[in-house]
Amino acid sequence: MEATGTWALLLALLLLALLLKLAVPRTRARGHLPPGPRPLPLLGNLLQLRPGALYPGLLRLSKKYGPVFTVHLGPWRRVVVLVGYKVVQEALGDMAEEFNGRGMLAMLDQTFDGHGVLFANGERWKQLRKFTLLALRDLGMGKREGEELIQAEVQCLVEAFRDTEGHPFDPSLLLAQATSNVICSLTFGVRFSYEDEEFRTVVQAASGTLLGISSPWGQAYEMFFRLLRLLPGPHTQVQRHLGTLAAFAARQVSQHQGNRQTSGPARDVVDAFLMKMEQEQRDPGTEFTEKNMLMTVAYLLFAGTMTVGATLRYALLLLLKFPQVHKRVREELQRELGVGRAPSLGDRARLPYTDAVLHETQRLLALVPMGMPHALTRTTYFRGYTLPQGTEVFPLLGSVLHDPEVFQRPEEFNPDRFLDADGRLKKHKAFLPFSLGKRVCLGEGLVRAELFLFFTAILQAFSLETPCPSGSLSLQPAVSGLFNIPPAFQLLVRPTDHHSR
C-alpha cells in the first residue's frame, strides 16, 4: 500500500512538473550548443542514459555525436559532455579560466549548499582553495614532516595486517581507516585507534556516501532530484551518512575552540581556519565562516578517507590477479631496499616498476570516471559552439585514462606502458587521474605520497595471497557511477622472514 502511494505521488509530481514546464516560458539562454539526442518532455534523455549505466551510456553517445555533445539529465539539467584526452585538455587545460566553475552534485547539494572548498564558486572558492593548499603545505604536505606522519600510520597498518595471523580478511575497512587517519592528523591533529567505534562509524559513513552517490539510485537522483528529494528513498540514507561526517567534524572543531592556542603556528587545518576567522572577523564580506570551515573539513575527511583507500584496495587486487606483477614488485623492493628499511619518498626513483604499477592502477581504475561536474564561468566559444555562462560540463576522466589514441589496448593492465626503454618511469600526457586545470585535486601530492608509502610498505612486509582462485577475481567495479568502487575480496598476508615475529 505504501509503495502504491509513493508511485501515485511520483506520478502526480511528474504531471505537475509537465504543467509547469508548459506554463513557464523558456528564458534560459540556449547559445549554440553541441548536438545530442533529442530530449523527451519530463524524461530528458532517460531512454539513452539508464541510471546505473550513465557512464557507458555517455561513451555510447559520443560514438554517434563526437567528443563534445549535449545531454539532458531529466527535465531540468542540460549538460555538455567532453570525451577523450584532446577535448578535455583543451577545455580544462587551455581554457582553464572559463571552465573552472563547479557544477552540481545533487546528492550532496543540500548538505554543502555551495560552501566549502569543493562546492564553492567565484571569490569564495578562490579564497578557500588558496587557504587550504597553504594550510596543508604548512602542515607538511610535500615536506619531510608530512612524509613522517604517513610513515607512522603505515607502521600501524602493517601491524594490523600482521595481527590477522594468516587468516583471510577483507582489507577495505583497515585501508580506509589508515588513510583516514592521515587526513584526520592533518585536519584535526588527532589519529584514532582502528578499534575506536566512533572512528569506524565515521569511516563507514564515508564509504556509505561514496556508494550512495555512485549507485543506480544516486544516478537517478542526479536526473530527477527536484522530484525525488520530496520522496522517501535511499538518498535519505546518504543524508544520514553526511550528517555523521558533519557531526564528527563539528565535534572536532568544538574541541579545538575549547583548547585553542592563541599564538604559535597552527597545529592542524582547523587551527589555521580558526586563526584566519579571527583575523577577518571584522570583515563583513569574509568567506572564513563557520559554515565554510565545517564544509571544507567534512570534504577533506570524506575525500581523504575514501579515495586513497579505494585505490590501494584495487592495487592489492591487481597483484592477486597478476602474480607475475606481484613477483616483480617484491623483487624490485628486495633488490633496491634490502631488508628492514622502511621505504621513503626518496626511494621512488629507484623503484620505477613499483611506481609504474601504481600509475597503471590509477589509470585502469579511473576512480572518478565521469570527473567532477564543472560549470562555465562566462559565455564561452568552444570548438564552434557557444556555451552560455553557467552551462554544466562533464569532463569524462575515464575516457581520458582509457583513451585508445594515447594508451594502446587501454582495458588491459600493463604497468610496462609507464616505463621507457631504459626501464625508467615515463610520463604520459593523458595520465590525469586528479583532473587538470584550476580545479585539479588539491590533495594530489598527499595522495601520491600515501599511495607510494602504504603500497611499498605492505609489499615489503608481506607476500599476498587469496583463498579464491585468481581466475575468479573480478576487476570490474562493484559499483560504477560518479566513482568506480572496487569489488570486495579476501586477502591473506604472509609476513616475509625478516618481518615475522
In whole angstroms, what is the distance from residue 204 CA to residue 48 CA? 33
Give residue-wise pLDDT tens across range 382-432: 999 999 999 999 999 999 999 999 999 999 999 999 999 999 999 999 999
The answer to the question of residue 8 being in a domain is no
Percent of the chain clearing pLDDT 90 (strictly above): 78
In whole angstroms, what is the distance from residue 52 CA to residue 216 CA? 4
Cβ count near 146 (within 10 Å): 22
Give the pLDDT of residue 497: 63
Collect all residues with Cβ–Cβ distance below 8 Å to 103 and sequence separation of at least 6: 79, 372, 373, 374, 375, 392, 393, 394
Q: Residue 66's domain spans which residues?
A: 27-499
Residues 492 and 166 sit within 8 Å (Cβ to Cβ):
yes
The answer to the question of residue 9 being in a domain is no
Give the pLDDT of residue 390: 95
The answer to the question of residue 334 being in a domain is yes
Assign 439 to helix, strand or coil: helix
Residues 460 and 337 sit within 8 Å (Cβ to Cβ):
yes
Tally of domains within the chain:
1
What mean pLDDT is reported for the chain? Answer: 90
CA dihedral 248, 253, 255, 256 (to 10 degrees): 150
Looking up cell 549535449, which residue turns up? 70
The answer to the question of residue 20 being in a domain is no
In whole angstroms, what is the distance from residue 364 CA to residue 205 CA? 26
Give residue-wise pLDDT tens across range 322-358: 999 999 999 999 999 987 788 999 999 999 999 999 9
The answer to the question of residue 12 being in a domain is no
Residues 320 and 466 sit within 8 Å (Cβ to Cβ):
yes
Nearest to 54 by CA among 221, 259, 241, 247: 221
287-301, 355-369, 460-474, range with greatest mean pLDDT: 355-369
The answer to the question of residue 22 being in a domain is no
In whole angstroms, what is the distance from residue 483 CA to residue 445 CA? 20
Hey, what's the cell of 167? Answer: 587468516
- Per DSSP bridges, beta strands 462-465 and 101-102 are unpaired
The answer to the question of residue 409 being in a domain is yes
Residues 333 and 456 sit within 8 Å (Cβ to Cβ):
yes
Cβ count near 102 (within 10 Å): 21
Give residue-wise pLDDT tens across range 257-306: 878 766 778 899 999 999 999 889 888 889 999 999 999 999 999 998 88
Nearest to 123 by CA among 487, 485, 377: 377
Hey, what's the cell of 201? Answer: 562509524
CATH number of the domain enclosing 443? 1.10.630.10
The answer to the question of residue 446 being in a domain is yes
Residues 111 and 213 sit within 8 Å (Cβ to Cβ):
no
